[in-house]
Amino acid sequence: MSTDLQFDPVDVAILRLLQNDGRIANKDLAAAVGVAPSTCLDRVARLRRAGVITGYAAQVDPAAVGRDLEALLMVQVQPHARGVVDPFVAHVLSLAETRALHHVTGADDFIVHVACGSTADLQRLVLDEFTARREVGRVQTHLIFSTWSGPPVLPYTSVQ
C-alpha cells in the first residue's frame, strides 16, 4: 500500500463521513462533501483501490447477542518464533469469542479481545483454548467494564 497518496479536504471529509455511517447513500455523501455524485463515487473508488477503505461492516453490540462479558487476554507464547506464532494466530482467529487480536511488543506477545456469555464461558475459553496449548506460557485476563471508540481514522497530516 502506498503512503504517497495525497489527501485533500474532500477525501478527508469522505473518510470521516463513511466511518461514521458506512451506509450513507452516495448522493448524500456527495452533497455533504460538496461534490457531484459521480465525482464522489470516483473518489470512494480511488480510496478503495488504494487500500485506504478496506471494507464496510455492521457494528454489533456483543451484549445484545448474549456476550455480556468482554475481556482482554494478555498472552505470552514460547518460543516467540514464526513456526509457533502463525498457528497460534490461526487458532485464535478461529475462535467465535475473538473480537480482535493484536501482536504487540513488551512483556506480552499478544492481546486478545474476547466476548463471552459468562464467567464460566471465559474460564473455559482460557483453560481449553489458551493455557492448554503447549506454546502458551502465560495468560493474564483483564475484564472490560466499559469501552469508548475513538474518532474516525483520518490521514495523519490532515487538519482534524
When pLDDT is averaged across residues 25-47 and rounded to a whole number, the result is 98
Same domain, 98 and 38: no
Same domain, 80 and 131: yes
Task: Give, in order, the Cα–Cα distances in Å from 128 to each of 120, 121, 134.
Answer: 12, 10, 11
Tell me if 134 is assigned to some domain: yes
Tell me if 2 is assigned to some domain: no
CATH classification at residue 101:
3.30.70.920
When pLDDT is averaged across residues 6-16 and rounded to a whole number, the result is 96
CATH classification at residue 15:
1.10.10.10
Domain span including residue 79: 62-144
Tell me if 74 is assigned to some domain: yes
Element holding 44 (H helix, E strand):
helix 37-49
Tell me if 159 is assigned to some domain: no
Same domain, 24 and 80: no
Q: What pLDDT, on a 0 to 100 scale, did the predictor assign at position 156? A: 84
5 pLDDT tier (thresholds 50, 70, 90): confident
Condensed to tens digits (0 to 9), the pLDDT of residues 120-134 reads 999 999 999 999 999
Same domain, 34 and 70: no
Same domain, 44 and 83: no
Tell me if 31 is assigned to some domain: yes
